[in-house]
């Protein structure tokens, strides 16, 4: 449990409101998750098959990826046997340990963005329909702008009705320029224009919106590859980040999304949106564990400043706060 102790020390030192935001945003997750684990442990007198089945359900209910759950349960069963644990109360520490293990299996990955100093940084946003790509871009533009950077937006969603206007409204709100073409035009052409504009205006950051697409639509995925190719061709080394926006309410399909978009566009990071609304955030564990893509930001609300840098430690703290507090005793 020393991991939790270290974590706690670290967190208590940085008692800024970001931690509070994480705690607030994850309050529901925590209640439903660790509350249930505690309840489960209180109810069972013996560690048996039924106990594991119920634990399995709790994890699944948190939308932790299915395979991850299976793996975790198998490992738990093994540990319980090895240490000859009979009392459910003793399992709790093993559960926490294993969850942290799974989480750490993703290696140390920074959630920092790959920002070019002194030259243009291009960030491409991809994802399925309705996950919050445009909103995330708006929030991120605000963040960069307040850091004193010159930001440009590229309206690459030329397909959905009103998408260009939506981005433009965000642009006006934040006070940055939006490069656009007419609805229905080639998104790759919009990117080309936007890059030229970014170069001539000496912009620091170019945020590229794309239309939402379901990952099983091969032709649309090819279109996305083309968009990326155009960016690559115009600026060597770009896009410097490809961020996949995932809706936190999504179930197992989020893994498929991450996998397919990674294949098509070499996703470098994930933005987990709408984490304030859902009671679950478990899919993050699965994604880290199975795909090794780091989560870079989480969306915790609808306001401009509701996009927070993903801090794994704070996230784990929010998720397992009760367990962490217990290590104190």
Partner 1 sequence: MAFEGLADRLQNTIQKIRGKGKVSEADVKEMMREVRLALLEADVNFKVVKDFVRKVSERAVGQEVLKSLTPGQQIIKIVNEELTALMGGEQSKIAVSNRPPTVIMMVGLQGAGKTTTTGKLSLLLRKKYNRKPLLVAADIYRPAAIKQLETLGKQLDMPVFSLGDQVSPVEIARQAIEKAKEEHHDYVLIDTAGRLHVDEALMGELKDIKELAKPDEIFLVVDAMTGQDAVNVAQSFNEQLGLTGVVLTKLDGDTRGGAALSIRAVTQTPIKFIGLGEKMDALEPFHPERMASRILGMGDVLTLIEKAQASVDEQKAKELEQKMRTATFTLDDFLDQLGQVRKLGPLDELLKMMPGANKIKGLNNLQIDEKQIAHVEAIIKSMTKAEKTHPEILNSNRKRRIAKGSGRPVAEVNRLLKQFEDMKKMMKQMSGMQMKAKKKGGFKFPFKPF
Considering the rule CB under 8 A, would residue 163 count as an interface residue with partner 1?
yes
CB of 285 to partner 1, least distance (A): 13
DSSP classification of residue 275: T
**Residue 319 is encoded by which pair of tokens?**
């998720």
What binding mask, one character per residue, do residues 48-67 give for partner 1 by CB under 8 A, x or -?
A: ---------x--xxxx--x-
CB of 73: closest distance to partner 1 in angstroms?
11
| Footprint of partner 1 on 75-104 (CB under 8 A) | none
CA-to-CA distance for 258 and 266, rounded, in angstroms? 10
Q: Is the peptide bond before 239 cis (omega within 30 degrees of 0)?
A: yes
Q: Which of residues 10-39 bind partner 1 (CB under 8 A)?
A: 28
| Angle (nearest 5°) at CA 293 between 208 and 117 | 50
Instruction: Please tell me the distance from the alpha carbon of residue 186 to that of residue 159, in angstroms, as a whole number.
Output: 9
CB of 134: closest distance to partner 1 in angstroms? 8
**Among the listed residues 74, 218, 229, 305, the single contact to partner 1 using CB under 8 A:** 218
Q: Which of 159, 261, 315, 320 binds partner 1 (CB under 8 A)?
A: 159
Element (H, E) at 221: helix 218-234
* Measured distance CA(181)–CA(120) in Å, rounded: 21
Q: Is 166 helix (H, G, I), strand (E, B) or coil?
A: helix
Task: For the CB of residue 65, give the shortest distance to partner 1 in the complex, in Å.
Answer: 10
DSSP symbol at 271? E
- Residue numbers 296-315 binding partner 1 by CB under 8 A: 302
- Beta strand 295-299 pairing with 307-309: antiparallel
Identity of the residue, 6 or 77, whose beta carbon is nearer to partner 1 in the bound complex: 77
Q: Does 129 bind partner 1 (CB under 8 A)?
A: yes
Residue numbers 245-284 binding partner 1 by CB under 8 A: 247, 249-254, 256, 274, 276-280, 283
Shortest spacing between CB 159 and partner 1, in angstroms: 7
Which among 2-10, 95-103, 126-134, 315-323 is the span making contact with partner 1, rule CB under 8 A? Answer: 126-134
Residue environment code for 118-135, b if the CB has 16+ CB neighbours within 10 A, otherwise e: eebbbbbbbbbeebbbbb
Q: Give the C-alpha separation, 261 to 258, whole Å.
A: 5
Which residue ranges make up the site for partner 1 (CB under 8 A)? 28, 57, 60-63, 66, 128-132, 138, 159-163, 165-166, 168-170, 173, 183, 214-219, 247, 249-254, 256, 274, 276-280, 283, 302
């Amino acid at each position: 449990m020393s991991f939790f102790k270290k974590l706690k020390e670290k967190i208590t030192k940085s008692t800024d409101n970001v931690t509070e935001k994480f705690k607030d945003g994850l309050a529901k997750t925590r209640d439903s998750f660790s509350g249930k684990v505690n309840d489960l442990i209180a109810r069972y007198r013996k560690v048996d098959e039924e106990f594991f089945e119920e634990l399995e359900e709790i994890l699944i209910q948190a939308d932790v990826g299915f395979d991850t759950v299976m793996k975790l349960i198998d490992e738990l069963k093994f540990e319980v046997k090895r240490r000859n644990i009979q009392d459910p109360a003793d399992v709790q520490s093993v559960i926490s340990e294993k969850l942290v293990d799974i989480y750490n299996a993703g290696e140390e990955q920074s959630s920092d963005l790959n920002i070019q100093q002194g030259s243009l940084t291009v960030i491409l946003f991809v994802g399925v329909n309705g996950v919050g790509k445009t909103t995330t871009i708006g929030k991120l533009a605000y963040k960069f702008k307040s850091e004193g950077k010159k930001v440009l937006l590229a309206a690459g969603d030329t397909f959905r009705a009103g998408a260009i206007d939506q981005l433009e409204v965000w642009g006006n709100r934040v006070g940055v320029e939006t490069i656009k073409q007419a609805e229905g035009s080639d998104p790759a052409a919009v990117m080309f224009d936007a890059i030229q504009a970014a170069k001539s205006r000496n912009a620091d950051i170019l945020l590229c919106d794309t239309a939402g697409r379901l990952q099983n639509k091969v032709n649309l995925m090819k279109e996305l590859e083309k968009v990326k190719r155009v960016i690559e061709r115009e600026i060597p080394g770009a896009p410097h980040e490809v961020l996949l926006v995932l809706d936190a309410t999504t179930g197992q399909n989020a893994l498929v999304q991450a996998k397919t978009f990674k294949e098509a566009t070499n996703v470098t990071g994930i933005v987990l949106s709408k984490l304030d609304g859902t009671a679950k955030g478990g899919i993050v564990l699965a994604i880290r564990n199975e795909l090794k893509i780091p989560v870079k930001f989480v969306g915790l609300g609808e306001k401009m400043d509701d996009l927070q840098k993903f801090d794994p430690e704070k996230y784990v703290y929010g998720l397992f706060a009760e367990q962490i507090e217990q290590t104190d005793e």
